[in-house]
Amino acid sequence: MDRVYSIEEQKIAEKLTILNTRCTGMLTQLYNVKKACGDSKSRPKYFSEKNFEPLTSRIQKKFPNVDMSKDKVVSQLLKDCHQDVSSTLHYYYQTFVEILDFVDSAREVLTSMNVGGIFCDFAINFDLSRNFLDLVTNYCKLMILMGRVEDRKVIVGLFNAAYEMQNGQSEQSFHRLTSMIVEFDNPLKKLMEEFSFHSKNLKATLLSLTEIYREKFAVKEIINGLISIVSKPMLIKNVAKTPKMRTDLILRNTMNEWIIVGFLLHQLQFSENESHSLWKEALQDCFCFPLYRDEVVVVQRLYETPYIQNNKMLSKRFKEIADYTSFAVTQSAVKHKETRNILKLSLNELRLIFTDQPGLVGPKAHAAMVLLSLTKNEIQWLVHHSENIPLKFRNKVNADDYQEDNLGEMLFCLLEIRALFKKHADIVRDYFVRYISEVDLPKFTEVCKKHPQLDEEYHQLMVSFADAMKGVSLSEEDQKNHNLNGFRLDWFRFQAYTSAAKPLVSIRAIPEFITVMDATISHSYYIDGYEKYLDGTSDLSFLFFFSNFFRFNFGNCIEDYRFSRYSIAFAMACDHFIECTNKFCPEERSPIRHRSVLSAERCLEDMAKQTACHLEELCRESIKLEQQVLPSNAANMLKQEAAKLKKKQKDKLRIKEFVIPGSESYRKSHENLTRIDRSVASVTELLAAFTHFDTIRVVNATLCPIEYLRDVIDETFSGSFAALAFYDPDNGSISRPSELLRSISAFARTLKSIDHFATVDIGGLLFQSMLQHTQEIDKRGQKTVSGLYSSWFTDVLLNKIISGGICYTPSHKMFVSHRSVSLKAENYTDVAEMESLAELLGPYGIRVISSKIIDKICQEVTELKKIVQTNLSSLEQIRSKREFVNSNKNLKDCEELLNKTIRIGVMLCLRQLLHDATLSVLSRRTPTLLSVIQEFLSHPPNDSYVLHKYETASVIGIECPIDSVLFSALKAKKESSNEDKQIWSLYIVMIAMSLPDLLNQDMFVYENVIGGFLNNAHCLAKAINHLASVFFTSGGDKAVLKNLVEFISIASECVLKLECKKSENENEPVKHYEPLYVLLDIIVQESHFLKRDTIEKFISHSIIRDAYRQVNLIDRDEMKKRRKKVDGRSHEYS
């Protein structure tokens, strides 16, 4: 005869605790199996490949009687891969085996409770009742979730077939497992049949929830009576407690699951109105509940199964269920929205008070936990219901009721209170250690005296209770080592022992003892288990599985300036995601950890991008305002005012209405916010979010929010400066340097305003960004401001100058354009614009443009060398015979040589403008540094260091006798070697002989206003002097001087002899040789080596003086005729 075990020996408390923990693990494993089989990427190949289709289809049809030996094709197919099948499906199969073991254990415990007559009542035995309902609900969820695994039969059958082929016999759990799968093929039917034996205890437990459940709806009353500290300042130091401290923290969503599942298992048999009313309220509050994670059960679909519809008793309730579901969909969302609005105010209030007075965290700990549990309940309800609205109701409901605009504020306050609890854990622990030892222990002793039978019948447990309470009154050094899990488990055991049919002492007879122990148990959690309390009331790990909801609400939060400061809460919530893992399924911990960190990083990046977007808009507005105060806009305003005064209607229609600078600041009301006002508010709020925490801990990663903002600002705005140049290579347009400088200054001022709200070090970012723009390309490989302007100067401006229409004016130190030229060179090359460019780019940026100009000069020098080499023998002969006059007729490409030299001179003039601007800016910005360099340059160096000295001078814009940069470039291209000295000396001869050919050019006209010639012939002076100094620098200054003197002698001889021949031949057309004398004088003035007395050896000073006078007295009509030959082009100078 089997021995009958006593209630103490059956260990109901221990089994319920273990089974509930194990069931959560089984749900996790089964959930992962379902997701793996449903995902095409992770799905086993045997379920999807066509080769295995005969195998899987046979198992599906013949299950559970799977015999592969009858089909030779299938048998051979399995034989080829049975080892791989066993290893692949072992985890899946073992999961179902563990479910089978769990089902057996759960049935055993439930039967023991039923046989032992153990009753459950939340008001009497809270732990027993909660664990009982948790086991029932989790058991049902597990079976329903197993029914959703469509491949469960194939997994079990295929694995066993492979196992049988490998071992010669079926797996030992196979037959029991197939029976369970077949029985739960319709899970609701089997569950209802199974729980018909436990319906009495189940119904009684659910009815004990009635008062507790209805109190959960009175959120406002709960807050006013328990949480609101400000409304009752006299009670601010009193401990927050209620008669039902244990039940206060149960989530209403959890009770909804208990009620809906419990009464369904009870087959909806309502013998009294109270049970029906409780079921009705639960259905009207929620129309769905979570099965596990993102697997959700819609209540109406749960009742639409064929078994329920065919059951006469259950089908009668179907219309009733449909009405309740309709009410829940259309009405409950409004109530929950009102609840959330109430909770937000209370959360903010509690957060501010705890921040200001952390000592209140102890006395008001329970109040905070209740508030956190209510908040978590509302967030959970919103998450589950907003994404599962039935299709037939989606057009009938108000979408706003299922959205929470300021969800970020709720999350922020919840996480802040949670963080304050962790920060002040010592305060909470110390408070409740003293409370248990000074309040709960005396009450316990007093109650035990009133009930001496407790000590008589349960002496061991009573001693354990007393020792545990006395143990918490130890010294402060040992407080962190408290472990009260045994104390709480003993109380659970006591409830199980005294709730049986015939206990030694009935728990119903000791209500005072129950009240004291429940309060003490609640207080004990704040000593060693407050983290468990926090997880139960404020854990947000469920958001991990609702990524669409999470991203949608996060997007709404950062876009709405009213709630942007709370957007950091979404990144903080990612730290909770790892809590959704289970120790029974460790393989999912790593991917969830990785995704948690990625989600937090994505949140911070999106916040930073939104901030950068608003900053970009503010920068554009700042540039627009800066442009409104330009002098050109003032002219438009004056023109408009003049038109109004004259009352010319045509002008009024034609002239665009001018916006007066500052008009955007006028407001009729502070409530009327403009787009810019919203951007300013958004930036301010987002920066407050970034600076709220220095670092955020997400799982095992530490994130610094402000660093993400720095990186995004750097990435976003580093390319914005180049975009402000508005360079269009197709039509050759670009912003004027002064306009770009003004725009960048406005841009920088706006960005620097960030430092008033956050320590982003915008100055450092701007410095790094502008430093990149001194190079041709930035770190991302895109063109910088230096690159754009170097391209424009070398590819656009120089091409325009070479094609004609633009000339260099030494008197104004800029290039000017003819009327017919669309490009106004003076708008880009005058002193102010060049200084603006130098201020933008600095010496490094100017060096980039200069190096490109040098490259083009080197190309032209190569062409010059080719021309001289072509005429090498002729030039040597002419030079030896000293027959220079009219000998150029025997030479080839003299005019081409002349034009290329002019081009080189133009490029050198442009380069000199850049250097002068650099020197001017440096003298203003760094006068001390410049004076040191000038002092260094004033000392004569050794000959070996002279080029290095000149190179240093060229960087800061100081002009030197020898162009060391050009010398180095030509030397690198082997254009200035010793072997080429003869070629370049002949070049000097050829260019001197070619000067008279300038008289054949129509634009070789000297104008005193510009101080040069219309065809840029005066640029020959800079070209010849620079090239001579570079070509002959290896021979020293004497070699340079010798070749320049030879040039002057040959050129003056040619001009003088040609002028003499002109006077002898009166029939030749009239030519004015005076411009040539002026040109020779300019060449001498430009040279660092020639002096005025040098030219006087060949041309008297009186001739040069007369030449200047004659070029200014040339008949204006003749000048106009010359100009008309070139499309009537002329200059306008101011």
pLDDT tens figures, 306-328: 776 677 666 677 888 888 989 99
Catalogue the long-range contacts made by 793-796 (C-beta closer than 8 Å, 24 or more residues apart): 793/849, 793/852, 793/853, 793/910, 794/849, 794/852, 794/853, 794/856, 795/729, 795/732, 796/732, 796/734, 796/823
Q: What's the confidence (pLDDT) of residue 696?
A: 92
Cα Rg, the chain, nearest whole Å: 47
Q: What's the confidence (pLDDT) of residue 876?
A: 81
pLDDT tens figures, 81-125: 778 888 888 899 999 999 999 999 999 999 999 988 899 999 999
pLDDT band at 1108 (very low <50, low <70, confident <90, very high): confident
Three-class SS state of 783: strand
Backbone angles phi, psi at 774, to 5 degrees: -85, -10
Kindly state the DSSP code that residue 792 receives in the 8-state scheme: I
Q: What's the confidence (pLDDT) of residue 488?
A: 92
At 52, list the tokens.
Answer: 């295995």
Q: Please spell the DSSP secondary structure of 865-926, one letter per residue.
A: HHHHHHTHHHHHHHHHHT--TTGGGGSSSHHHHHHHHHHHHHHHHHHHHHHHHHHHHHHHH-
pLDDT tens figures, 682-737: 999 999 999 998 999 998 899 999 999 999 988 888 778 888 888 888 888 898 99
Q: Which of 76-90, 239-253, 473-487, 495-509 has the lowest mean pLDDT?
A: 473-487
Residue 494 and residue 531: Cα distance in Å, rounded? 25
Mean of the pLDDT values across residues 525-533?
84
Q: Which residue has the higher pLDDT, 67 or 982?
A: 982
At 345, list the tokens.
Answer: 């105010």
pLDDT tens figures, 609-628: 999 999 999 998 888 888 88
Mean of the pLDDT values across residues 248-256?
91
Residue 945 has pLDDT above 70, yes or no: no
Residue 841 and residue 693: Cα distance in Å, rounded? 37
Mean of the pLDDT values across residues 854-862?
90
Residue 1130 has pLDDT above 80, yes or no: no
Backbone angles phi, psi at 849, to 5 degrees: -65, -40
Q: Which of 556-560, 833-837, 871-875 has the lowest mean pLDDT?
A: 871-875
pLDDT tens figures, 643-656: 766 655 554 445 55
Backbone angles phi, psi at 979, to 5 degrees: -70, -25
Q: What's the confidence (pLDDT) of residue 378?
A: 94
Residue 1094 has pLDDT above 80, yes or no: no
Beta-bridge partners for 697: 702
pLDDT tens figures, 743-759: 889 888 888 888 888 88
Closest by Cα among 723, 386, 741 to 543? 386
* Cβ–Cβ < 8 Å for 877, 993: no
Q: Which residue has the higher pLDDT, 1003 or 558?
A: 558
Tell me the pLDDT of the chain averaged across its residues.
84
Q: What's the confidence (pLDDT) of residue 4?
A: 47
Backbone angles phi, psi at 121, to 5 degrees: -150, 125
Q: Which residue has the higher pLDDT, 1 or 8?
A: 8
How many CB atoms are closer than 10 A to CB 836? 21
> What angle in degrees, to the nearest 10, is found between the helix axes of 459-471 and 511-528?
40
Q: Which of 356-365, 899-908, 975-984, 1118-1127 has the lowest mean pLDDT?
A: 1118-1127
45: buried, middle or exposed (CB in 10 Å: 19+, 13-18, 0-12)?
Answer: exposed
Residue 1074 and residue 1080: Cα distance in Å, rounded? 10
How many CB atoms are closer than 10 A to CB 623? 19
Angle at alpha carbon of residue 753, lines to 750 and 755, rounded to 5°? 140
Identity of residue 448? C
Enumerate helices (H) and strands (E) in the chain, giving the number of each: 52, 8
Angle at alpha carbon of residue 280, lines to 276 and 281, rounded to 5°? 120
Residue 946 and residue 216: Cα distance in Å, rounded? 91
Closest by Cα among 534, 547, 536, 311 to 425? 534
Q: What's the confidence (pLDDT) of residue 597?
A: 95
* Cβ–Cβ < 8 Å for 26, 102: yes
Q: Which residue has the higher pLDDT, 166 or 146?
A: 146
At 728, list the tokens.
Answer: 């269009």
Q: What's the confidence (pLDDT) of residue 1065?
A: 52
pLDDT band at 567 (very low <50, low <70, confident <90, very high): very high
Query: Per residue in 24-34, is it b (16+ CB within 10 Å) or e — as a string?
Result: bebbbbbbbbb
Sign of torsion, CA 587 588 591 594?
Answer: negative
Residue 868 and residue 891: Cα distance in Å, rounded? 9
Mean of the pLDDT values across residues 868-896?
77
Residue 690 and residue 709: Cα distance in Å, rounded? 8
Residue 749 and residue 764: Cα distance in Å, rounded? 13
Q: In the chain, what's the furthest Cα-to-Cα distance?
A: 155
Q: How far is CA 234 from CA 229, 346, 352, 369, 744, in A?
A: 9, 18, 18, 21, 59
Mean of the pLDDT values across residues 459-473?
87
The pTM of this model reads: 0.84
Closest by Cα among 952, 947, 855 to 904? 855
Q: Which residue has the higher pLDDT, 572 or 1042?
A: 572
Omega before residue 64 within 30° of 0, cis: yes
